[in-house]
Amino acid sequence: MSNAKPLRILVWNEGVHEALNEPPHIGEIYPEGIHGAIAAGLRESHPGATITTATLAGDEDHGLSEEALAATDVLLWWGHKAHADVSDRVVERVQRHVLGGMGLIVLHSGHFAKIFTKLLGTSCSLAWRNDGERELVWTVKPSHPIADGVDNPIVIPEQEMYGELFDIPDPDDLIFISSFAGGEVFRSGVTFTRGKGRIFYFSPGDQEYPVYHHPQIRRVIANGVSWAAQPDVLRAPPEVSNRPQGWIEAGASANSQPMTEGVMR
Q: For the sheet containing 154-163, what is the strand order?
A: 50-55, 8-13, 74-78, 103-107, 197-202, 185-194, 173-180, 127-139, 154-163
> Which is nearest to 56 in space by CA: 96, 5, 105, 19?
19
pLDDT digits (tens, 9 = 90+) for 120-146: 999 999 999 999 999 999 999 999 999
Q: How many other C-beta atoms lie within 10 A of the C-beta of residue 152?
A: 13
Which of 72, 120, 122, 112 minimizes the C-alpha distance to 94? Answer: 72
Q: What amino acid occupies position 197?
A: G
Nearest to 207 by CA among 71, 48, 18: 18
**pLDDT surpassing 90 at residue 196:** yes
Under 8 Å between Cβ of 128 and 167: no
Question: Which pTM value belongs to this model?
Answer: 0.88
Q: Report, as an integer, the average pLDDT of 236-261.
A: 52
Rounded percentage of the chain residues whose pLDDT exceeds 70: 89
- Check if the beta carbon of residue 159 is closer than 8 Å to that of residue 134: yes
Between CA 162 and CA 126 the distance in angstroms is: 7
Q: Has residue 200 got a pLDDT over 60?
A: yes
pLDDT-based confidence at 238, cuts 50/70/90?
Answer: confident
| pLDDT per position as a tens digit, 35-74 | 999 999 999 999 999 999 999 997 899 999 999 999 999 9
CA 253 to chain centre: 45
Domains of the chain: which residue ranges?
A: 8-255
Hey, what amino acid is at 108? H
Q: Which CATH number fits domain 8-255: 3.90.1150.10, 3.40.50.880, 1.10.10.10, 3.40.630.10?
A: 3.40.50.880
Three-state secondary structure string covering 73-89: CEEEEECCCCHHHCCHH
CB 162 within 8 A of CB 156: no
